[in-house]
Structure 1
Amino acid sequence: MPEGHTVHRLARLHQDRYGGSPVEVTSPQGRFSAGASKVDGRTLCGAQAHGKHLFHVYGPDAVVHVHLGLYGAFREHPLPVARPQGQVRMRMVGPTHWTDLRGPAACELLTDDEVATLRGRLGPDPLRADADPDRAFSRISRSRTPLAALLLDQSVVAGAGNVYRAEVLFRHGVHPMLPGRDLPRERWDAMWADLVALMADGVRAGRIDTVRPEHTPEATGRPPRVDRHGGEVYVYRRAGLPCLVCGTPVASTRLAGRNLYWCPTCQPERA
């Protein structure tokens, strides 16, 4: 599932390509035909993201909400338009480009009130200027749930996924099973600031890089990471490999149905 930085990149891309212009919106597959017909030909007022949710705003009470889920993907193309291939849930055609959406978990037309209700269920997004980290800490500080699980709860922090949660915990020496209520406030403030910076870098670069300059392949002489997700990371998907800082084999387990990675030495159980 794409992490929040990917959805924010999509929002910026769609704003640049379609914002301020009339957009032809259709549903070749047919599953979004009713919603598409209500915004077809209207001007896209703006595109924005909150966590892993993308919103195309077409004016009062007309917002297309997309959640990519595990299998959803946008495909972007310059004009001219080609015939639909496969199950295209939504097609957008603008002045210079066209975009096909396939396989999303959600593609629906919402009113402004429905968008407000949806966003009200989400936690603060480190990539949004209106984010309130105090709101997230209020939830964390009252919970016995492991911090690693809380960071993936989109009602606590919106947008952080499996990569960012593993990496920010490592970068701050926090054991993933630490109960949320045991996390000091100053440690949370540092972690939040780090998430803001790391995810903003992800928006700019289009990949997740969390390794500090002194631990990069260029600085250490090690081979670059080879992974379909790209990016240099400390522990994510490095189970059994030596920690880039201390050499301890990276540990892995399952938590709430997701793979979890950490360094037992750099992230002791009670730091």
Structure 2
Amino acid sequence: MPEGHTLHRLAKLHRTRYAGAPVRVRSPQGRFAAGAALVDGQVLTRAEAYGKHLLHHYESGLTVHVHLGLYGVFTEVPLPMGEPTGQVRMRMAGAAGFGTDLRGPTACEVLDRAEVAALADRLGPDPLRRGADPARALERIHRSRRPIGALLMDQRVVAGIGNIYRAELLFRHGVSPFRPGAELGAEEWAAMWADLVALMRVGVRVGKIVVIRPDDDHGAPAYGPNRPRTYVYRRQGEPCRICATPIAHAVLEARNLFWCPGCQPG
């Protein structure tokens, strides 16, 4: 599933290509036909991301909300666009010579202002949004005995973190993923939040999750082609890049978890 930096990159791209002018919106697949008709031909005033949610705001006050989920993807193409291929949930065409097709999202729906506000209220602070308050996340963390590795994946605690950022952030700060949230220190969380903001900003800039420090960026290759190296993510059984302890793997709340028992004791 795309992590928060991907949605912020999409929001920036869509602001550049579509905002400030009327946008043609339709649903070749038909599943979003009624929603598309509500915003078709309106001016897209802005696009923004909140965690893993993409929001297209229109002049009428309506908003198209997209959650890509596991399989959703936008395909950006220049105009004129050819005939749709595959199951295109939403097709947008702008005035600046670009169009985009959305396939396979978990959610593609039209929300009013109250519904957008309710969505934001359900989410924790997004490290990539200006003014995000890490104290809100810490308050929820300190109220819980759930493992910090589970809490970081809870979008109600922090919006935008996925499996890679979760695993790598905990490693970089030597925190066991199984430590209860209530036992995480305030200073530890302040350092983790600052690091997370910096890492995710790099992700927005380069379009990849870069988490390994330059001095450690050598040795065993990355877990996949064209992927930057990681410390623990998808490296189970391989030696830790720092202490050589085999990287461990478990399933925590139905998600794969990776950590180094040597660098993250507990």
TM-score between both structures, scaled by the size of structure 2: 0.98
Give me the whole-angstrom Cα distance separating, in 2, the residues matched to 1:141 and 1:43.
Answer: 43
Equivalent residue of 2:44, what SS?
A: coil
Give me the whole-angstrom Cα distance separating, in 2, the residues matched to 1:45 and 1:4.
Answer: 22
The question of 1:90 aligning with 2:90 is answered: yes
Listed one character per residue, the Cα deviations across residues 193-237 of structure 1 (whole Å, up to 9, x for unaligned) are 0110000100001010111111012xxxx2542515712210000
Of the structure 1 ranges 55-64 and 227-236, higher mean CA displacement relative to structure 2 is found in: 227-236
Listed one character per residue, the Cα deviations across residues 116-136 of structure 1 (whole Å, up to 9, x for unaligned) are 001100000000012110000
Partner of 2:243: 246
Q: How does 1:149-168 map to 2 (within 5 A)?
A: 149-168=150-169
Partner of 1:198: 199
Q: How many residues align?
A: 265
Q: 1:233 aligns with which of 230, 235, 239?
A: 230
Partner of 2:21: 21
Give me the whole-angstrom Cα distance separating, in 1, the residues matched to 2:220 and 2:13.
Answer: 33
The question of 1:136 aligning with 2:137 is answered: yes
8 A Cα contact 1:60 1:112, kept in partner: no
TM-score between both structures, scaled by the size of structure 1: 0.96
Instruction: Note the residue ranges of structure 1 that are not aligned, 5 or more in a row.
Output: none
Equivalent residue of 1:45, what SS?
A: strand
Give me the whole-angstrom Cα distance separating, in 2, the residues matched to 1:230 and 1:115.
Answer: 34
Equivalent residue of 2:208, what SS?
A: coil
Equivalent residue of 2:152, what SS?
A: helix
| Aligned-CA RMSD value | 1.0
8 A Cα contact 2:42 2:60, kept in partner: no
8 A Cα contact 2:72 2:105, kept in partner: yes
- Give, in angstroms, the shift of residue 86 of structure 1: 1.0
Identity of aligned residues (%): 61
Give me the whole-angstrom Cα distance separating, in 1, the residues matched to 2:226 and 2:237.
Answer: 19
Listed one character per residue, the Cα deviations across residues 57-100 of structure 1 (whole Å, up to 9, x for unaligned) are 01243100000011111101112210010110000001211100
Q: How does 1:205-224 map to 2 (within 5 A)?
A: 205-217=206-218, 222-224=219-221
